Amino acid sequence: MRPVILRRGLVALFAAAVTFGAITQAQAETLRIGYQKYGTLVLLKAKGTLEKRLAAQGVDVQWTEFPGGPQLLEGLNVGSIDFGVTGETPPVFAQAAGADLLYVAYEPPAPHSEAILVPKDSSIKSVAELKGKKVALNKGSNVHYLLVRALEDAGLKYSDIQTVFLPPADARAAFERGSVDAWVIWDPYQAAAEQQLQARTLRDGQGIVDNHQFYLATKPYAQKNPEVIKTLVEEVRGVGEWSKANPQDVTQQVAPLLGLPADITLTSVKRQGYGALFLTPEVVAAQQKIADSFYQLKLIPKPLSIKDVIWTPPAAVAKAQ
């Protein structure tokens, strides 16, 4: 009886190994993309061209929506997605928390698509007048660095204001109630507040921040799948170039997803940066400056080296850019 039992055990073990191998292979052949409701990836998802190109490489595409950059990068950190896009600040917080990520590409600057807003009847006329005031923002989002730089430019310390950390919907409610004196926010929430609430722009990013969008991947996926990453960046760039040339068409697609009027959506679309590229030394240096600033302010627990988490495409891939 023992040989029979042994054989059965081996058969069961072999079957389990085959099943595990199939699961691993399925994971390797599926590109899992995290996206937010607004941005180039939404348009890429709707267009369907990425799926067609990657099908030829034997790769399926799976999309997962996230409410914001910090949540998306948490998904990247725990392994639920392979690739996603956020503003310039969330990757810094994620790297500080130990996320195994790589910067893959970036979008051109969009300094007008984030701003410090005050109510239309506010007596505050300059950033310097925010001293001692309550300022709402989403902690760890792209506008966190805008606030830091705007205060520095106005001769204030970060500790000179009272930060109130709230997600966009709650921040808008607090802003409307008058519970906070200012709101640091990005498009399309920014454009909506400007047009629906007649909020005044105290300072946007022009001259003090780039407000890049970054495409990031898990380190293992990017290193093992350079051709997939190349195809993905090419498709993102193509959709971006089309979007820049066709803002009205983009607005028609995006406005229903956002639940916003076309005029507000169009403003946001026109202020966005388009044309994804692999990272340059200048962009890496700018991102390093953000990381250094947050460490000095004790917003992250340790110094970071951004150049250590930049994906270097193989020569053939880089040449094709």
**Structural domains of the chain sorted by starting position, each given as residue range(s) with its CATH number in brackets:** 31-105+217-280+298-319 (3.40.190.10), 111-204 (3.40.190.10)
Q: What is the pLDDT of residues 119-129, one digit of tens each?
A: 999 999 999 99
pLDDT of the residue at 315 = 60
pLDDT band at 39 (very low <50, low <70, confident <90, very high): confident
CB-count burial class (<10 Å; 0-12, 13-18, 19+) for 193:
buried
Q: How far apart are CA 134 and CA 179, in angstroms?
A: 8
Mean pLDDT of the chain: 88
Tell me the sheet residues that pair with 217: 83, 102
pLDDT at 178 over 70: yes
Tell me the sheet residues that pair with 30: 60
pLDDT at 89 over 80: yes
Q: What is the pLDDT of residues 243-253, one digit of tens each?
A: 999 999 999 98
pLDDT of the residue at 28 = 45
pLDDT of the residue at 301 = 95
Q: Provide DSSP, 78-120.
A: HTS-SEEEEESSHHHHHHHTT--EEEEEEPPP-GGGEEEEE-T
> What angle do helix axes 142-153 and 281-296 make, rounded to 10 degrees?
80
pLDDT at 166 over 80: yes
pLDDT of the residue at 94 = 93
**Percentage of the chain with pLDDT > 70?**
89
